Structure 1
Amino acid sequence: MSLQSRIAPSGTIRFAINIGNSVLTRVDPKSGEVGGITVNLARDIARELDLPYTLEIFNSARAVVETASQDAWDFAFVARDPKRSESITFSNPYFLIEGSYLVRKDSPINSNKEVDQTGVTVAVGKGAAYDLYLSRNLKNAKIVRTVGSKPVDEMLMNNTIDVAAGIRPAMAKYVTRNPALRLLSEPFMFIEQAIGTPVQNQDGARFIETYLKEAHSSGRIEKLCKVP
């Protein structure tokens, strides 16, 4: 049995694409076409394997992870996390995204360590990598998990929450449209974006390890991951 048939038994590679991560994936508002870093990588991996491919679209990383054992995809672009490793084998990271806190401009919170206090509420996207990380590391603050595109800037301005946690580019957009908000200067974590395979597909995991080593050494990964 060939490597291609072991990695993608259907004959077509299925890539799980999380359109909820605006840094890695973008959707054209007019055409609906999906592009960005993850799509660049998918095309390059398919070329390396000389196989056709499809993009399986998901709205969140949580949805991708939940389908890891359902034969829904062959490769996925999601952040590494110990909890997710129960069902997914992760590559080394190919891209890092800062996780940052957003607060009201008049908030007394000025540093990351001041967030973890009794009485402080922190909004996170349910099941996101930073949710899993903060669930392990915040001992005193209360975590409020949101689903979908609930506007955390409105939650902040309505005093529903004290802090919003998320990827820095997305948090920065809130500040751009609302000067009454501000970002804390230091990231609270670096989110390691990786290529995952279902744990049962070790041939796929080994291929991705070799693929990324070659792509890094050739400098191709920098071109594929260039943010426009």
Structure 2
Amino acid sequence: MPAIDATLRPAFAPTGRLRASINLGNPILAHRDAQGQPAGVSVDLARALARALGVAAELVVFEKAAQSVEAVRGEQADIGFFAVDPARSQGLRFTAPYVLIEGSYLVPAGSALADNAEVDRAGTRVAVGQGSAYDLFLTRELKAAHIERVADAEAVRAALKAGQVEVAAGIRQLLEGWAQGDAALRMLPGRFMVIQQAMGLPDSRGAEAAAALAAFVEEAKRSGFVAEALARHRVQGASVAPAAGA
């Protein structure tokens, strides 16, 4: 990846290190490896950005998306990796997306629900991870169904299995894995949303830093860096986002 103008280092890394907020709540983009260390597409991008700036990367790891967002907004981290959503825009500047991920529904195998459109009915309870992209999106979109906000993805599955909800919402790849390993669960066909995963930084870092980060993301897509990272980490259910404005 090309070097970034050294005059922008203070904007990106005021402590002398690039503090990257990593959300382990999205296993498509970040996870812990066999040694327990953070790994994944977002980690690769964070380290590549640090190299382009000529500084060391410091990974600030969180289990939930909302925590990761707040770390950047509060400037405990310098950059982050977020699903683009209007509810997260205050205090942050987003790039165009680098990866697109599908959001889908999971139901008990015996559920009468057959289509995504049938979910939004009175009496239907939908489990989501609190503060996740699905929570933010469905809070706006669902008019009749009730949203049950739980701690994380595992709590979403537990709520569905226990009969506390009729539907689980989440990353398609993750839900498909659950359904494949449990005959008592099945996917609803298709998707209810496409999640645009982007990079972001605090608004206070200025327009030049935001433009440089946007250019970095575009080069990461154009050069094949993102595609190679997805392949290296054996990610399925995600695709490289098109060039900005395409």
- Shared fold, TM over 0.5: yes
Q: 5+ residue gaps in structure 1?
A: none
Corresponding residue for residue 244 of structure 2: none
Q: CA deviation at 1:150?
A: 4.1
Change (3 A) 1:110 1:216: same
Matched, 1:118 2:122: yes
Q: Identity over the aligned pairs, expressed in percent?
A: 39
Greater displacement, 179-188 / 168-177 = 168-177
Contact kept, 8 Å, 2:41 with 2:226, in 1: the verdict is: no
Alignment partner, residue 22 of structure 1: 27
Consecutive unaligned residues in structure 2, runs of 5 or more? 1-5, 235-246
SS at match of 1:83: helix
Tell me the equivalent position of 1:211: 216
How many residues get paired? 227
Corresponding residue SS for 1:134: helix
SS of match in other structure, 2:16: coil
Q: CA shift at 1:61, angstroms?
A: 0.8
Opposite residue 211 of structure 1, the aligned amino acid is F
Aligned to 2:86, the other structure's residue is in SS state coil
Q: 1:224 deviation in Å? A: 2.9
Matches for 1:18-167 after TM superposition, within 5 Å: 18-28=23-33, 30-167=34-171
Cα distance change on mapping 1:166 and 1:2 into 2, 3 Å: same
- d(CA) in 1 for partners of 2:75, 2:58: 14
TM-score under structure 2 normalisation?
0.87
Question: SS in structure 2 opposite 1:72?
Answer: coil
SS across alignment from 1:210: helix
Residue 67 of structure 1: how far off its partner (Å): 2.6
Alignment deviations for residues 53-75 of structure 1 (CA, whole Å, 9 cap, x no partner): 10001111100122333221111
Aligned-partner residue type, residue 18 of structure 1: N
> Structure 2 CA distance, aligned partners of 1:211 and 1:149?
31
Measured after TM superposition, the shift of residue 31 of structure 1 is: 1.7
User: CA contact under 8 A between 1:95 and 1:225: conserved in structure 2?
Assistant: no
CA apart distance, 1:48: 1.2
What are the superposed Cα offsets for residues 174-218 of structure 1, whole Å, 9 maximum, x if unpaired? 212211110011110011100011111123311111112222332
TM-score normalised by structure 1 residue count: 0.94
Ranges of 4+ aligned residues in structure 1 off by more than 6 Å: none
How many angstroms apart in 1 are the aligned matches of 2:155 and 2:72? 28
Q: Distance in 1 between matches of 2:51 and 2:229?
A: 13
1:19, 1:57 within 8 Å by CA — same for their partners in 2? yes
1-structure distance, mates of 2:141, 2:32: 33
The one-letter amino acid paired with 1:138 is L
Kindly provide the amino acid, as one letter, of the partner of residue 14 in structure 1: R
Q: Distance in 1 between matches of 2:182 and 2:73?
A: 41
Residues 210 and 17 from structure 1, CA distance in 2 versus in 1: closer, same or farther, beyond 3 angstroms?
same
